[in-house]
Amino acid sequence: MIHYRFTQSDQGACVRKLFILLVALHAAHLHAEPLRIGVSVADLGNPFFATLAEAIGDSARALHPGEVALEVRSSAYDLERQVHQLDAFTQAGMDIIVLAAANSEAIGPAVRRAQQAGIVVAAVDIDAQGADVTVTTDNVQAGEMTCDYMAERLGHTGRVAIINGAPVSSVTDRVNGCRTALNRHPEIELLSDDHNGGGTYSGGLEAMTYLISAYSDLDAVFAINDPSAIGAANAARLAGQSHLFIVAVDGSPEGIAALQESPALLVATAAQSPRQMAATAIRESLGHLAAGGRQESQAIRLATQLITRENAEHFDHWSNGSTSE
């Protein structure tokens, strides 16, 4: 047996080294624990939210050294359902909750209950009152840029309509951005802006069918996302109204394919990046988790890029591994 003789200074150094070792072992233990993430998005039938949910898991596995346990739910824009989902995540002891809020303000109490249980809450796509981290598209910029393009294509004169959507921040911001752009073009008449297409293909089809019947001289339409825009385009074709055109927000694979049809009625879409949104939300949430909730809340807005037939071939920001705008 080997014996060591410690002086007082040696003992102090040993204690310090032992403390550092214990901290390192504790950190390693934390890293070995599964990272539990609960996700509640609006509509998993929408390609944007499906990609966003997938990317949350991909980003967590890339950034966290241990196992990741992911639970994904769809709220269907139903506040009561989403409150139940968040409360269930809280009871289950999740580390992080990521949500696209069904109602930005009314979801606040459920967010606070999660935070009181030590859970980091990240809002994506749609603002959520009190969230630790908020990562959304710059939806005002998206709507404004897209409707500026629409105005230019019309030669600054014509009759247009907006196919609206759910009353959530992402949608209202896009519509407000579009209105701002149209206000710069007094010769463009906005015929309708309150028809709710629900952000779905069938909703866009129904909304466009109504608009064509109500306004025989409609020239162009802004739809709040690609699914409703694609539905609107098909309604216009069925009605023999292929002279008009549609612009939207998303940059989804389906939207990019529609831009490249011949002839194409969807002519432009402001591209979001669900993978960048997910990666940013998870990275910032892990920072909050490591800080023990002592960081200030953050709001990050991601710029969009206008995609048209001319640059659609080179755009693929929704594929696995792409995180750039």
Q: Could you count the other beta carbons within 10 Å of the beta carbon of residue 116? A: 9
> Hey, what domains does the chain have and what are their CATH numbers?
30-136+274-302 (3.40.50.2300), 139-271 (3.40.50.2300)
Q: What pLDDT score does 313 carry?
A: 85
Q: What is the pLDDT of residue 293?
A: 66
CA distance 15 to 200: 63
Q: Give the residue-averaged pLDDT of 104-133.
A: 97
pLDDT of 19 higher than 70: no
* pLDDT surpassing 80 at residue 42: yes
pLDDT on residue 296: 85
At 57-99, the pLDDT tens digits run: 999 999 998 999 999 999 999 999 999 999 999 999 999 999 9
Query: How sure is the predictor about 31, in pLDDT bands with cuts at 50, 70 and 90?
Result: low
Q: What is the pTM of this model?
A: 0.83
**Which one, of 213, 224, 241, 211, lies nearest residue 179 by Cα?**
224
3-state helix/strand/coil string of 30-98: HHHCCEEEEEEECCCCCHHHHHHHHHHHHHHHHHCCCCEEEEEEECCCCHHHHHHHHHHHHHCCCCEEE
Evaluate the omega torsion of the peptide bond into residue 274 and state whether it is cis, within 30 degrees of 0: no
pLDDT at 18 over 50: no
DSSP, res 106: T
Mean pLDDT confidence for 125-138:
97
Output the six-digit token pair for 137.
Answer: 């598209």
Closest CA to 135 of 290, 293, 287, 316: 287
Per-residue pLDDT reduced to its tens digit, 270-297: 999 999 999 999 999 999 999 886 678 8
List 282's β-bridge partners, or say none. none
DSSP strands (E only) in 111-242? 120-124, 133-137, 158-164, 188-196, 220-223
Strand 35-41 versus strand 68-74 pairing type: parallel
Mean pLDDT computed over every residue of the chain: 89
CB-based contact 222:178 (threshold 8 Å): yes
Burial class (CB in 10 A: 0-12, 13-18, 19+), 113: middle
Q: Which residues pair with 134 in a beta bridge?
A: 123, 299
Q: State yes or no: pLDDT of 33 exceeds 90.
A: no
Confidence of residue 196 (pLDDT cuts 50, 70, 90): very high
Question: Using an 8 Å Cβ cutoff, are 226 and 268 in contact?
Answer: no
User: For a pLDDT cut of 70, what percent of the chain falls above it?
Assistant: 87
d(CA 56, CA 64): 12
Per residue in 236-267, pLDDT tens?
Answer: 999 999 899 999 999 999 999 999 998 999 99
* 146 contacts 251 by C-beta, under 8 angstroms: no
